[in-house]
Structure 1
């Protein structure tokens, strides 16, 4: 991708390379005329170039514009259509737009063979399962998409460390738990809670941790392979022919973490509501902050999912009556900490959108307190909500 983007000659002078083919030769000095790997500006330059290409060619290829701007992740594109015909036309426009900028897509994968009929064999993905973070070779967890089943899956590249766990080994393993969409938050937060306990003990980096931490950590590691059982459907059934949609956002907090989690409900042709877990975020701290996180989560989802959901169909749920009282009251009555957060919450939501949910029916409770990977795979409250 970088090698297809030319750099202005005046700027390319700062991309210098020293080279010789043999130790006996004099060193020659070159400048790199294309975007150069390893420079801090390279990722921005590449993405900015793609956006400019979309702006320049958007009139000719209108369907490809949003894909390039919103569904492209560095040099990977994840997109699709509501029908085969729509997807094929989208594919044609994307290829044509990128070709006008001398870019060529490879490693094609699709959940329908018709979309690959005109793709040369050498340009198709070599494996049936598409590893979405294949470049992240140091990560323990990897997210994959299986075109045959149209499901997201988690693959585990993990070897159980031998010997007693130390703060260094626990931190190293926790840092490798790659979960950018937050689907495994209940498991990840368990590891972070253990790490939090280690900091409070002020142990040396290579000192074996006490049995009170050694035992739960060993159990955590042994159960981690269970995440490979998890299958998440990619398709949310959010097509234009299905306008009935509701967004439900739950928030919760414990003494160690607070979280917000969102579920999209879509009604099918038979009138049945289908519920899907959406990406989320979890950050250490408390209840009111969890409510603010829920409000920010809705902002994030509306921006990136771009789903036409009626404002009245977006509902927020908390299991704390005092937080509900703060939100439904006059923000100016409360102390500064509370008042500031209530004002921010009401910037993106209305008082009438906030509801009460019992703690045992609150899925955000799972990621504020943690779950073992063994329980997570079968935990319907987390994957489907209380519906």
Structure 2
């Protein structure tokens, strides 16, 4: 959410982050691995072909590696005034920040480079939606692609849009397991494609009601329901939304559901006006104040005549 607040976004990556952390001598025996020497030489005995090595750096893939990296970065950042601004926008070895103007974004780029250089870490692959900011980044530090990945999603830096891809369906699901597998394959952390996926979820719900087992082949009714639901789903599709959260006004609206569907309904709220600003400007607590219009709407919904 913080990444979507400012007018200008800036992303970067710590180069070979785990390999910048040195293992202490006593811990290296826990990170040993075997190496096969001269595998094609049949004259060497098998036991002589095997050689044991130890990692001197934190290896990628070890369960504790992300924690160790996070702990080191947190300790390193404590000595800087920008600690909170950077630390809360770190995800393992990726940095996602936003700014209100080009000057602020350029300053953030320089500070991020300086701070991590002091820990012998090289921050690279900087990307921004602002041409002025991009031109201020050194050529060797720039991301080479126009579309980059942001925590599993894609960001088009030219149009400043987030891209959500709906996976193509190579063949129609024939079992409940295949149906659930396809639904789970749609990565949508913000829930933006829920209206598209909803028919499939309702179909899966119906399969549960009929007590159909995971690998039972669908009957005629289920096959027809699948066919109708998945018409036009053969090709991969994508949805684009603005990265920057749209302007929020102070106008309040109360929506009361009177004829909602029996199987699903949706609600949307733009939130208070301060939500579009940096979180430093957010109030510590939001007081709850009911206006006369809100009270009347609540009473109307409850079927009580307001007098």
TM-score, length basis structure 2: 0.71
Name which of structure 1's ranges 255-264 and 42-51 shifts more when overlaid on structure 2: 255-264
Is residue 282 of structure 2 the alignment partner of residue 308 of structure 1? yes
Deviations 1:182-241 (A, max 9, x none): 223333444333323323333343333234443444444445569624423424469xxx
Is residue 77 of structure 2 the alignment partner of residue 54 of structure 1? yes
What's 1:373 paired with? none
Please give the alpha-carbon distance, in whole angstroms, between the structure 1 residues aligned to 2:57 and 2:256: 47
CA RMSD in angstroms, aligned pairs only: 4.0
| Unaligned runs of at least 5 residues, structure 2 | 1-16, 302-307
Alignment of structure 1 residues 142-157 onto 2, 5 Å: 143-156=153-166
Alignment of structure 1 residues 29-108 onto 2, 5 Å: 29-55=52-78, 57-58=79-80, 62-63=81-82, 65-108=83-126
**In the alignment, which of 120, 135, 139 is matched to residue 117 of structure 1?**
135
Give the match's secondary structure for 2:200.
helix
Please give the alpha-carbon distance, in whole angstroms, between the structure 2 residues aligned to 1:46 and 1:354: 54
Please give the alpha-carbon distance, in whole angstroms, between the structure 2 residues aligned to 1:254 and 1:106: 50
Compute the displacement of 1:36 (Å).
1.7
Alignment of structure 1 residues 321-336 onto 2, 5 Å: none
What's 1:232 paired with? 242
**Structure 1's 175 and 250: CA in aligned 2 closer, same or farther, altered over 3 A?**
farther
What's 1:13 paired with? 29
**Structure 1's 254 and 99: CA in aligned 2 closer, same or farther, altered over 3 A?**
farther
Please give the alpha-carbon distance, in whole angstroms, between the structure 2 residues aligned to 1:184 and 1:90: 33
Please give the alpha-carbon distance, in whole angstroms, between the structure 2 residues aligned to 1:85 and 1:34: 37
Compute the displacement of 1:20 (Å).
2.5
Give the match's secondary structure for 2:30.
coil
Compute the displacement of 1:164 (Å).
5.3
Does structure 2 conserve the Cα–Cα contact (< 8 Å) formed by 1:166 and 1:206? yes
**Structure 1's 163 and 266: CA in aligned 2 closer, same or farther, altered over 3 A?**
closer
Please give the alpha-carbon distance, in whole angstroms, between the structure 2 residues aligned to 1:201 and 1:262: 35
Give the match's secondary structure for 1:36.
coil
User: Would you tell me which structure has more helix in proportion to its own residues?
Assistant: 1
Please give the alpha-carbon distance, in whole angstroms, between the structure 2 residues aligned to 1:26 and 1:111: 53
Please give the alpha-carbon distance, in whole angstroms, between the structure 1 residues aligned to 2:201 and 2:61: 31
Please give the alpha-carbon distance, in whole angstroms, between the structure 1 residues aligned to 2:29 and 2:295: 57
Q: Which has the larger radius of gyration?
A: 2
Does structure 2 conserve the Cα–Cα contact (< 8 Å) formed by 1:248 and 1:263? no
Compute the displacement of 1:170 (Å).
0.9
Does structure 2 conserve the Cα–Cα contact (< 8 Å) formed by 1:249 and 1:263? no
Does structure 1 conserve the Cα–Cα contact (< 8 Å) formed by 2:165 and 2:239? no
Please give the alpha-carbon distance, in whole angstroms, between the structure 2 residues aligned to 1:246 and 1:313: 17
Number of residue pairs matched? 272
What's 1:199 paired with? 208
Compute the displacement of 1:173 (Å).
0.8
Compute the displacement of 1:247 (Å).
9.5
TM-score, length basis structure 1: 0.58
Please give the alpha-carbon distance, in whole angstroms, between the structure 2 residues aligned to 1:132 and 1:85: 23
Does structure 1 conserve the Cα–Cα contact (< 8 Å) formed by 2:173 and 2:179? no
Compute the displacement of 1:178 (Å).
0.8
Compute the displacement of 1:312 (Å).
4.9
What's 2:3 paired with? none
Greater RCO, 1 or 2 (C-alpha within 8 Å, sep 6+): 2
What's 1:340 paired with? none
Does structure 2 conserve the Cα–Cα contact (< 8 Å) formed by 1:249 and 1:315? no
Compute the displacement of 1:133 (Å).
4.1
